Amino acid sequence: MFIDTANLSEIKEGFSFADLKGVTTNPSILLKEGKRREQIISEILANSTGTVFVQAVGSHYEDMYIDCQRILALNDDRIALKIPANVAGLQVIKELKSKSDAPVILATAVFSADQGILCGLAGCDYIAPYINRMENNNINPYEVVRETRKIYDDQGFPTQILGASFKNTNQVVDILVAGAHTVTVPFEILRNMATKELAAASVDRFNRDWEELQCDLELVCE
């Protein structure tokens, strides 16, 4: 599981209680922090472990490829690229993956199994189907992931499915059951996964019973 944020406080707290594989970012997430991309990524690397995904921007092949080079020029082997799964993005992915020092690439904005096929053929390490966004547009994300996972398994593609775009914890569980290899979630959802009212009530009862037991044993109650 990855955490989908660029906020250092969220990253520090998330890594304190969850065994995370890394951090995913995008321009919208970076915008919230109000810093230069290079500075934010440097700070994330210093306060996390695992892979840090950075999204390349550009409307055309040339612009996107140049931005990929800017990101890779940060010269940290933990940095990986996020590239959209459109025509220009697939062109960039194919070019980068043809090189001997090819970076780790996550294809983003995936909404269908046929997109997933093209990403697998291009050599992507991961794809990111947008779960909540699909549901909001009457696309069944769980069927998309099931179909894509079956194709990957049947064809022997090493590409992994990294579910993204979640609004609640049920979506996270359901997409993993559907066949996603991993997910990236915002801090709020990560915290909600560890914060359950029934669990909190049970822990509170354990603590009160422990205090009562100590009181009984010591025969002293305040």
Positions marked active-site: 82
Burial of 69 (0-12, 13-18, 19+ CB in 10 A): exposed
| Cα 204 from Cα 116, distance rounded (Å) | 46
Nearest to 25 by CA among 63, 93, 62, 79: 79
Query: What is the rounded distance in angstroms from the CA atom of residue 47 to the CA atom of residue 150?
Result: 36
Whether residue 184 contacts residue 26, with contact meaning beta carbons closer than 8 Å, is answered with no
Distance CA 67, CA 65 (A): 5
CA distance 11 to 94: 32
